Structure 1
């Protein structure tokens, strides 16, 4: 049994100054603290003190409630003595439970997987339903204004040609037998974005002149692209993606934010991958929405595949690795999906 500790320090309550002290262990449960002149500073029982968890070779800390703080150089004997404390940290007890450690190593990753895979997307769907339409309108208008000032220019298509597409869309609405979201089609020219189309939350759909040219002004190929963007609006994908992105960032910061620079780097990569996977899921929903509507318009899923093939000619060759680091599914997979629907 440890009898005397001579190189400890004592910090009396209410002061930051330390005193060099010695500790005499009177019994398994009691000990006394003396200063350098052997004056008695404290006498207490192990069950009345609070022993902080061991942290590597850092001196052990023992709190004497309403008296002060002891710091004691760590050693096997000291650890054994302090383990008798009745107020030993519950965390320390859990950390020493091998069965619990093994169970946690299995259960924690499983719970996190279910949370990210199912919990966040499900919550995002609910969130999207409760966002006020006024906020959706404001966000959409501001986004379009910002894009018009940065990467979008006025369309070079003639007003007659733009009106032709608008009239065609009005006709499509009458042919489909379900209520479609309110959609406003805008044409823009953009060297930065190239052949592209995108939807804003309020139903604004922007189609670039470059996309119209790539599809050779073929409305049978443009219609599937338009329906794809309407799918985004119909399923409120923008609001869902915002909710998923925010929740993913907060969750990763909460679970991993205090583990240093290495984990911060990991969190950044993980966040990107998680967001892109969410986005890919939404892209598949929009693809399948468009493919489901084409027969009612007298068009085959092949028209969607042909449009995707033309878009693929403007993109670099894809690798399987890109599936995990880009926001859209691989183009060849989307084309194959459309071909399978045609069969």
Structure 2
């Protein structure tokens, strides 16, 4: 039987019995989620394994090592430390989500895992110095990241997140590419209108506490970075679009007119790309820093990426009690994998 005990506020595991060369203790940092295996009283002759994702049943077998290996093949939730005479020693690595407030994909990733019923440790890098060190140790350089032990996935693709945690993403229906482009242009038109109405003395306001690099000016600029970087990414200029889409606004961008000039250029870039696109089914592929993805998937991602930040900018201006001449029609969000939450 697997046991984990809490002593002096720390998770510890029983020493693994067996040959001396196999004895070890479970690292305390890995004991955030415990695993139990026991004989099923209601179903004699089976062995049940309880993990962070559910219960698994296998036929009992006198060869416990073989049972453990079969269990490991059935569920990837735990690692094997050792076994002897019916005492099994295993542990799980908790799923962790590294994120920062205001990040559109960060909000969506946490909501997505919750909808799948997958428990996770939430690591806000603005408040968790150790979390930042852990992320650096993984070698991941952009957010959000979903990890388990030393393995991780960039959470820009919900399909990849579902695969990483061992779940199926059922019933995925994307809007047609033509409709995605139309809505993206609608969101950008609203964002452009909002920029006109930002008070000059509010451009340096920080809508997200502790995230000093994201001012109102930076948020408005970011909305239009997205289509500009998208076109360059699909053209093959680079794969790591997250790096380019998060670059700070240039030093010479100081007022509303400067932001609008960039916004108009970005809209023209997106329009020109679509007008010149021959295969509008978007079944061609794009090389990204998280793998080769379909153009359709990346188009959807960047459409709701701009939409979420436009939604944030609108909320900021409404918080200033500024009467807005144009706002987003909520129907434009229908059919997009928009986060429910605004900031985190």
**Structure with larger Rg:** 1
- Under TM normalisation by the shorter chain, which class is it? under 0.3
Task: Calculate the TM-score normalised by the size of structure 1.
Answer: 0.23
Greater length-normalized contact order (CA 8 Å, ≥ 6 residues apart) = 2
